[in-house]
Structure 1
Amino acid sequence: MSPRHDPAAVVQRQLDAYNARDIDALMATYAEDVEHYEFPSTLVAKGANDVRARLAVRLQESDLHARLLGRTVMGNLVIDHEIVTRDFPEGLGTIEMIAMYEVTGNRISRGWFKFGEKRMM
């Protein structure tokens, strides 16, 4: 499997673009009809335009950074366990997150996000 079509490589490009706050590189990892869900089934964004709008706001946070704790790959599903540093309305903090991505071809077609405890710094 070429790195371009390797699901883990696609998700790693997504994570790298997120941490670089590069919206164009980030969106290049998503399918046009991508769907994002708050785990397990609450649709929060449908289509690349919705996802771009949501992420563009997030990428404005000066302290934004996702630290990968672990990754599991099974076929075209990639599950990342992360600690994300964020500029929350109440101040700087971190939140634990599980992100599960379904990769179709060389793009992320669906993502599910489960958030853990928010910790203020």
Structure 2
Amino acid sequence: MNSKTVRPEEVIQQQLDAYNGRDIEAFMACWADDALYYEHPDTLLASGKGEIRERHISRFKEPSLFGERVKRMMVGNLVIDQEVVTRNFPQGRGKMDVIAIYQVEQGKIAKAWFKTGPCEPDEGAL
């Protein structure tokens, strides 16, 4: 798909599908080389593809990793997802609410901001 014609929401769906498939190469293909990754509102967690990859390599080894999209909104080149993310934490499997805001430029994620809620034990894991 030509990066100039891909819609921002398609990039974000590809990224979410790769996340859920724990496919680091497909996931990273959605990010710009100089992408910025923030904890909302302005705490920089990773700068550039290399740092973003490092943040996700161990996460992608978690057997329960899954992001369930609840809602998606789009305005121009911004895509906002509400998700429930399941992860494996030291205390066991848990779920947390996540708001993800993505800025897409030229078919790649240029900036992303994440706001996470508290981790709740996953009742289905008991």
The answer for the alignment partner of 1:48 in structure 2 is: 49
Q: Distance in 2 between matches of 1:104 and 1:10?
A: 10
User: Structure 2: which 5+ residue stretches go unaligned?
Assistant: none
Q: Distance in 1 between matches of 2:111 and 2:100?
A: 10
Q: Distance in 2 between matches of 1:64 and 1:83?
A: 11
SS at match of 1:67: strand
The answer for the alignment partner of 1:13 in structure 2 is: 14
Query: What TM-score do you get using the length of structure 1 for normalisation?
Result: 0.96
Give deviations 1:62-101, integer Å, cap 9, x for gaps.
0000000000000000000000000011100100000000
- The Cα shift of 1:114 comes to 0.2
Q: Describe how 1:16-27 pairs up with structure 2 within 5 A.
A: 16-27=17-28
- The Cα shift of 1:117 comes to 2.4
Note the aligned Cα RMSD (angstroms). Answer: 1.2
Query: What TM-score do you get using the length of structure 2 for normalisation?
Result: 0.92
Q: Distance in 1 between matches of 2:43 and 2:16?
A: 22
- The Cα shift of 1:57 comes to 1.2
Q: Distance in 1 between matches of 2:119 and 2:93?
A: 10
The answer for the alignment partner of 2:113 in structure 1 is: 112
Q: Describe how 1:1-121 pairs up with structure 2 within 5 A.
A: 5-121=6-122
Q: Distance in 2 between matches of 1:72 and 1:79?
A: 5
More strand by percentage = 1
- The Cα shift of 1:109 comes to 0.5
* Matched letter for residue 26 of structure 1: F
SS at match of 1:62: coil
SS at match of 1:93: strand
* Matched letter for residue 41 of structure 1: D
Identity %: 44
- The Cα shift of 1:118 comes to 1.3
User: Structure 1: which 5+ residue stretches go unaligned?
Assistant: none
